[in-house]
Structure 1
């Protein structure tokens, strides 16, 4: 998608230098940038690679010397990652076009908004309502009474369950599943997990009289706020009675599982392989690093950051930074790790003391 340097600078809300009418066709890393590319060299660390490239234009750091870098045009940015977000949006060749593919199966009771694209082999159930400008890629299924706000984009193979409600501009990557049944079962008598917790392991468990698991059905659906994004192969279970809720602007990575009845706040980041057990409540702007796991019914405040692999078994207040298993506040976790690293030396000291007490004549 060809753009001038001036157009790119306007999209980034920043300043262009040199020949602003110069046209570039795509962004590229400095080491491989050609004469028609826009090299991304947002720090001085890329200066040598940029000089060695064929690039005539680049996004550069504040204070860069265009003549020294051999550039005809440049754009300066104060915050590199924010510039990347705006730049990739400007160059993104998002598919366009509207219309309904002849292989799509749409219930007559469904309501389809204006300027909608519905791809091959899509199935849309009764009572579904699609807002204006939605894009539904191939092999998507949308269950009974589900609703999508304006501008949603469902990637190929997405499954939207019955009674799920998506706000405006929600994006799902291929094979995301929204509204699958929750993992919720009950036995006639106390189940093994209930007895284990009740006895805290003090009593050996014996087979229950009846271990049959009876399904607790999921009637509550899922509600996704505006601008939520859900990654490939991620699953969000429907609530039991009330809906599972994901707040506005929250971004969910690939291969994430969010259990039934969870409430996730606004503008959260949920990284890959995170698993949130049912009925957790999480505040706004929380960060779940990769492989974070939480137990059921935990409550976290706003702005909680969980380091990679943290296992959260208890509640934490606003602004906590936690790591480890079980997760602890960062100062406590660091102190614990420091103590563990000192154990070999401590064992040696204890062994020496024991030897001296056993053989006092050898001391000294």
Structure 2
């Protein structure tokens, strides 16, 4: 395990005190033992240090580590960035090594780069190409002709469909599905839903001679850029004619859904249960909170922030911070919420029962 000095070098900072202290793991201050690195990146968290037995800690910049009774410390001006480096140092890894398990099945013409690892009971379709250092966990399915970029890690239970291209160093977490058919169907005649914009929901639903749904097949596949993270249970659907595209560096949490023909820009961040409806374009560096949703055929500009559980029903210009349902600019949504809370008092005054 690393020493405190080695961790400090990885964080591009200096160690304070005894740099030879060995660190087995990171721990919360109250639970930290003598070989743990207590994480106390604010004075509030440091209040719990006396409850534990930590001899070393990761602290905020300027913290008085000696007054806390520590033997050594590392300080960081930006705590979460320090946590990114620290967690990389202490992470034992995914445990997937080089080599092909004897229970794996490889189709005809599969191309494997140097150092590829394929886990138990995984199936690689004919003509698929796996780049150098790719790691495939157990019970993974890679469709025929799929392309997996160098250094990509695919965890157990993932399904990669046809016409899918993954960039380098992607991470697909368990049970993600990349390249399922898009949810795309049509009817022989216009439906009540199609006519609702014109009728505003008024009038009787049309009588349809053939109400059955006819499937529009997904021919476009999916393209993921480099360094894309896809969370557990997340689905990215194939495009109809062109590919559904996820840009370089995008990070998508668990249980999200990216529908057919969507384009997601570079370095976007989507929290759990985000849903993006078909044919919508999301600009670079957009952040969407948990349970956020975006309707179909919209354009969301770069650097937009969409608060948790917010639903976007119209185009959003670049740089906007949006909140609510329907989503509105943050300041307007807050004012609307304040006005809503005032309504009972206002109504009471108007009726003469309030003060």
Equivalent pair of 2:96/2:136 in contact (CA under 8 Å): no
Equivalent pair of 2:31/2:51 in contact (CA under 8 Å): no
Deviation at 1:63? 2.4
* 2:199 counterpart residue number: 199
The CA distance in 1 between the partners of 2:33 and 2:115, in whole Å, is: 38
Deviation at 1:169? 0.5
Equivalent pair of 2:232/2:253 in contact (CA under 8 Å): yes
* 1:222 counterpart residue number: 222
- List per-residue Cα deviations over 1:56-88 (Å, max 9, x = no partner): 111112222333211111111111111111101
Equivalent pair of 1:196/1:205 in contact (CA under 8 Å): no
Give the gaps of 5 or more residues in structure 2: none
Deviation at 1:186? 0.6
The CA distance in 2 between the partners of 1:25 and 1:179, in whole Å, is: 40
Equivalent pair of 2:10/2:89 in contact (CA under 8 Å): yes
Q: Does 1:31 align with 2:30?
A: yes
- List per-residue Cα deviations over 1:134-189 (Å, max 9, x = no partner): 10000000112110111000010000000100000000110000000000001000
Deviation at 1:241? 0.3
The CA distance in 1 between the partners of 2:133 and 2:147, in whole Å, is: 13
Give the aligned length.
352
3-state DSSP class of the match of 2:73?
strand
The CA distance in 2 between the partners of 1:151 and 1:196, in whole Å, is: 48
Q: Does 1:316 align with 2:312?
A: no
- List per-residue Cα deviations over 1:223-254 (Å, max 9, x = no partner): 00100000011000000000000011110011
The CA distance in 2 between the partners of 1:158 and 1:318, in whole Å, is: 34
3-state DSSP class of the match of 2:85?
helix
3-state DSSP class of the match of 2:351?
helix
The CA distance in 1 between the partners of 2:38 and 2:348, in whole Å, is: 57
3-state DSSP class of the match of 1:81?
helix
Give the gaps of 5 or more residues in structure 1: 354-364
Query: Aligned ranges for residues 57-136 of structure 1 at < 5 Å?
Result: 57-94=56-93, 95-136=95-136
Q: Does 1:8 align with 2:7?
A: yes
3-state DSSP class of the match of 1:3?
coil
The structure number with the bigger radius of gyration is 1
3-state DSSP class of the match of 1:83?
helix
The CA distance in 2 between the partners of 1:56 and 1:224, in whole Å, is: 44
Could you list the structure 1 runs, at least 4 aligned residues long, displaced by more than 3 angstroms after superposition. Answer: none
Query: How has the CA–CA distance of structure 1 residues 202 and 52 changed in structure 2, closer, same or farther, with 3 Å as cutoff?
Result: closer
The CA distance in 2 between the partners of 1:82 and 1:163, in whole Å, is: 36
3-state DSSP class of the match of 2:58?
strand
Equivalent pair of 2:30/2:50 in contact (CA under 8 Å): no
* 1:18 counterpart residue number: 17
Query: Aligned ranges for residues 170-209 of structure 1 at < 5 Å?
Result: 170-209=170-209
Deviation at 1:39? 0.9
Equivalent pair of 2:166/2:223 in contact (CA under 8 Å): yes
The CA distance in 1 between the partners of 2:88 and 2:242, in whole Å, is: 36
The CA distance in 2 between the partners of 1:287 and 1:63, in whole Å, is: 31
Equivalent pair of 2:234/2:257 in contact (CA under 8 Å): yes
The CA distance in 1 between the partners of 2:241 and 2:96, in whole Å, is: 38
Deviation at 1:19? 1.1
